[in-house]
Amino acid sequence: MTGMYPEYFETYFDPTDYDGPWPRQFAIITGYAATGEKWTSEANARADLELQTELVRRGVWIQRVIGYSPRTGHAEPGWAAELSFSEACDLGYQFRQDALYFIRDDQLFVSHCDSGRAEILVGSFRERLRF
């Protein structure tokens, strides 16, 4: 798993009442504290708003998505955004993220955002959607 937190492979997604269509490829990025870090709720909200603002500035398709673990109950809002893998990793790195999800033709991948970026298959994205 190349240094990935096991929780990354357990994540499901709630697209907050959005049922498509989904772009052929897109990323799911969060602005919240990276795994293993603790930020105040205000710092998380500020980073989330800054990420949303940057995505809107870029003029790409975006959709709120909440990633969560059915095992632990941890949930975290993020943004699905129609970006290339490289753009998404660069943006994730800019927002101090350890990793992000990338979807291509319904295949869900996880990747580090730093120089260790590589698409690691998780499974079907649609099978991870919960409404």
pLDDT digits (tens, 9 = 90+) for 11-42: 999 998 898 899 999 999 999 887 667 888 89
105 DSSP 8-state letter: T
Neighbouring-strand partners of residue 14:
66
Alpha-carbon distance of 92 to 112, in angstroms, equals 9
Identify which of 86, 125, 100 has the alpha carbon closest to the alpha carbon of residue 29.
100
SS3 state of residue 67: strand
Low-confidence ranges of the chain (pLDDT < 50): 1
40 DSSP 8-state letter: -
Q: Does residue 66 lie in a domain region?
A: yes
pLDDT for 124: 98
Element (H, E) at 93: helix 85-94
- Would you say 19 and 91 are in contact if contact means Cβ atoms under 8 Å apart? no
Q: Does residue 1 lie in a domain region?
A: no
Q: Does residue 87 lie in a domain region?
A: yes
Q: Domains in the chain: how many in total?
A: 1
Domain span at residue 30 reads 6-128
Residue 11 corresponds to which tokens in the numbers above?
């994540």
SS3 state of residue 33: coil
pLDDT for 1: 43
At 69, phi and psi to the nearest 5?
-105, 120
pLDDT for 2: 61
At 17, phi and psi to the nearest 5?
70, 15
- Would you say 102 and 27 are in contact if contact means Cβ atoms under 8 Å apart? yes
